[in-house]
Each structure stands twice: as structure tokens, then as C-alpha cells.
Amino acid sequence: MAKQKKSADNSKATYDFDAIIIGTGPGGEGAAMKLSKQDQTVAVIERYAQVGGGCTHWGTIPSKALRQSVRQLIQYNSNPLFTNNDKPKHLTFPDILSHASSVIDKQVRLRSGFYDRNRITNFHGQAEFVDAHRVKVTLADGSTEIISAKNIIIATGSRPYHPDEVDFNHPRVYDSDSILSLKHDPRHIIIYGAGVIGSEYASIFRGLGVKVDLINTRDRLLSFLDDEMSDSLSYHLWNNGVVIRHGEQMEKVETTDNSIIVHLESGKKMKADCLLFANGRTGNTAELNLAAAGLTADGRGQIKVNGAYQTEVDSIYAVGDVIGYPSLASAAYDQGRIAATAITNNDSAGKLIADIPTGIYTIPEISSVGKTESELTEAKIPYEVGRAQFKHLARAQIANSLVGSLKILFHRETKEILGIHCFGENAAEIIHIGQAIMQQKNGGNTIDYFIETTFNYPTMAEAFRVAALNGINRLF
């Protein structure tokens, strides 16, 4: 245990650390690094043997690594330079997992180095509150240790939601974490839940040639997106053979040794080799004994916080998926840094940027920042649209990435950029050019920037100039 020290406010209380952070995902890492740089003594508690959290081990990193492998396979099979009338190359899900595993290993080594270099104390075990300043850690060997801190940050993330009526112990039933342990080569998969995770895995499995049924509990795919982006994804999945069933609810799941049968409330029945249940997530708070610290979680395991990510208990903060929206790794890291600044500077006015970019790693990608057409119409804001089709860009033609488009929404009178939406390969990279301009102050955020700026040629970034000119030509 670390040497006890006076608390930062010079009160009579003594603590082992200035701060304890529970969880080492993006939120926990952001908080730990910021606090360490501000000369705070920091301990992190990670329940698993390696740092990184769900983002590194089961969520963002592995799924995007899988997606990249599948994307390269699709490019290979669609390029006549490589195929030359040969049979298309086939890879199985276990085949592409090896690449994801190597990326995870590299990320773990990198992030472990961050904690070591910043002299942050690591505890590997299950955390449980004793009170608002003390945490009991149950280590892998069953022993326990109690550590204390003036402030505690909860960054425990989330886990897949498990309804009672689904047997997740069955070898053909998976969630978005356990799917990474898939050992067989399915010919047909049913994905229940067509949110971001479900849509991404639908792209991955279909890219491997697996028959995919995607069950959407809502009326449209990813309804938070701009309508045209949602429609583009729906069409692309349909065009590639994914069967999407909208507005459906699961009634029960019937299992056999080698298959599953999904019964829907509408009376439909579907049979497949396996089921991926990807309908919702729950905050990882059940084992924290929040009541001992004077905290409660809602029905989804999430904790309520204020603008500085402080809970109803002054000494405890929470960041990342455990507080809900926006549930993005990028935002969680910033939340951790903001909470850390609030701890060391009570007057901190830090907050997330207003326009957080969204990246959805389907094949092709989708990325958005700012307002959608529906939001602008509802707010009665006079806007115009500029579009660029990727198939018209020289760089897209060279790379044979012809599917996709960029859309810029801007104010008809001031020309202020209000929203940017991109569908196509590398959309999550392309969007940041527009985001940078949207953040400019004193009139710098206008569509004129893209018209007056000289872009490298040929590039995908040229889509901004094409879209801007298209939009300006609509004005009168």
C-alpha cells in the first residue's frame, strides 16, 4: 500500500492517494494521465489482468481491426489485378481474429507504458466501495486490500445487456463481447439489434460471405443519423445481401446443438447457425456496492452526474459509458480529463465540445458532425445542401472506392456550416477536416473556406470543395 499522505486541502483527513480511478478504459486513462500531470498521487483499479478496458479488449479496437481485415478482403476480391479469374479468397471469422489479437497486444503494451511512466499505482482486482473515500480491492488470489483517496472516479464502462429469456451460456448464442471467442465458421448468423454494434458486425459477417439477418427493433436503421446517411447504409447492406427486418421484437430463442431459432412477436421464425444479441448495454455498477458510498444507479446501471462529472457525493466522479450518452471512447477520454481538472481546480469550466463527431465503422464507414436535415427543418433554420459523390473524385476512382458521398449543410444567409455527413471509405477520417472549420470563431466557419482553399489533387478531401461549390450553386 502507498504511504499515507495529507489530503490536498490540508485537512486532518489522511489518504493513501489523492485519487483512485476504477477502470482503465478511455475515461479512466484520460483522468489518470491528467491527474498525474498535475502532481497528484493516483491509483487505478482494473478488474482484469491487463489495462485498456472494454474499449481495447472487446469493443472499439477489436471490432475495428476485424472490420479492416474484412475491408481488405473485399478490396482484394473485387480487384481484377489480383483475382484474374481465380476463385475469390475466403477467410473465416477465426482467421481474421488473429489480426485483432495482435492489435490488442500492441495497445495493451502501449497503455501499460503510460501508467508506468507516470508512476501510477495499478491494482488488478474487483473494486467495491467501503465508503465515499475508501475502496476494497479483491485481488486474483482472493486476498483483499482497502485503499483510500480524497477523490474517486468511476470509469467502469458498460457490458452487453443480457435479457433473462436468452441463454447466453449456449455455445451458439453470443453477445458483442463473447463473439470474439467464435471458433466455428458460420454460414448464417442472426443479429438481434441494429444499432451501431449490430450494423458493424452485419457488415463484417456479410463481408466474409456469411448470410446475415439483421433484426431492427426500430422503424429505421440508426435513426439518430441524417436520413440520407441512414438510407444509404440500409441500401448498401441490402444491396450486399443483408436481410433487414424493421420494427420487430424478439419473443423467444429456441436452441439446438448446432443452431438457434429466433421467434419474433410478429409470428416470424428464423433459423441460423448462431445468434449475436446486440440490443443494448448496461453500466458496470452492479458489483461496486454503490450504496456504501451513498450512490445509486438507474435501471440501466448508469450514474447521474453534473457538468463536471461529479456525482451526488462530492468526492466521487463518474465518466464514460457508465454515465450514458454519448457513450463514445473519444468522448470518455475527454470526460476523464475534464473530471480530473475539476478535482484539482474547483473553478474549472471545461466541457465537451458542442459538436462531437460520430464514427460508425460499417463497410463503408459513416461519420457525422453537427446538425441533421431533420433537426434544422424542425428548428426552422434556413439551410442549403452541398453534395459530392465519391464516384466523381479522381482519388476514389484510383482507389476503386466509388461508393459514398459527402454532404455539407450550411445557412443560406450567413453560409455558416451547420452539419457535415459522410458515407464512404475513410469517412471517419475525412469528417475531421470539416469539423476543424466548424470550430473556427469570428466568422471563420463558412462554406467559403472550402471554395477558396487549394486542396491536394487527387485526394478524398477534395470532396469538400466539390460539395461546397455544389451548395453555393443552389443559392439565388
Q: Give the pLDDT score at 248.
A: 98
Cβ pair 201, 276 in contact under 8 A? yes
The mean per-residue pLDDT over the stretch 44-61 comes to: 95
The band of 34, judged by pLDDT with boundaries at 50, 70 and 90, is: very high
**Which residue has cell 433537426?**
375
The band of 80, judged by pLDDT with boundaries at 50, 70 and 90, is: confident
**What is the 3-state secondary structure of 318-384?**
ECHHHHCCCCCHHHHHHHHHHHHHHHHCCCCCCCCCCCCCEEECCCCCEEEEECCHHHHHHCCCCEE
Cβ contacts of 463 within 8 Å, gap of 6 or more: 388, 390, 393, 405, 406, 422, 430
Domain boundaries, the chain: 5-58+96-159+282-344, 173-279, 364-472
**What is the 3-state secondary structure of 208-237?**
CCCEEEEECCCCCCCCCCCHHHHHHHHHHH
Judged against a pLDDT cut of 90, whether residue 280 lies above it is answered with yes
User: Which three three-digit cell numbers place residue 264?
Assistant: 419474433
**Which residue has cell 497503455?**
111
pLDDT exceeding 90 applies to what percent of the chain?
A: 88
For residue range 315-364, what is the model confidence (pLDDT) as tens digits? 999 999 999 999 999 999 999 999 999 999 876 667 888 889 999 999 99
Judged against a pLDDT cut of 60, whether residue 173 lies above it is answered with yes
Topology match between the domains 173-279 and 364-472: no
Instruction: Name the architecture of domain 364-472.
Output: 2-Layer Sandwich (3.30)
Judged against a pLDDT cut of 70, whether residue 10 lies above it is answered with no
Cβ pair 301, 283 in contact under 8 A? yes
User: Which three three-digit cell numbers place residue 432?
Assistant: 475531421
Task: Indicate the length of the chain as a whole number.
Answer: 476
The mean per-residue pLDDT over the stretch 71-100 comes to: 84
Q: What is the pTM of this model?
A: 0.93
Nearest CA-CA partner of 427 in 461, 457, 451? 461
Cβ pair 431, 461 in contact under 8 A? no
**How high is the mean pLDDT of the chain?**
93
Instruction: Please tell me the CATH code under which domain 5-58+96-159+282-344 is placed.
Output: 3.50.50.60
Per CATH, the homologous superfamily of domain 173-279 is: FAD/NAD(P)-binding domain (3.50.50.60)
Helix or strand holding residue 151 (H, E): strand 144-154
Q: Give the pLDDT score at 437.
A: 96
Nearest CA-CA partner of 319 in 299, 300, 298, 340? 340
The mean per-residue pLDDT over the stretch 64-88 comes to: 85
Q: Give the pLDDT score at 99.
A: 87
Judged against a pLDDT cut of 60, whether residue 95 lies above it is answered with yes
Cβ contacts of 365 within 8 Å, gap of 6 or more: 359, 422, 423, 424, 425, 426, 427, 428
Judged against a pLDDT cut of 90, whether residue 13 lies above it is answered with no
Q: Give the pLDDT score at 348.
A: 66
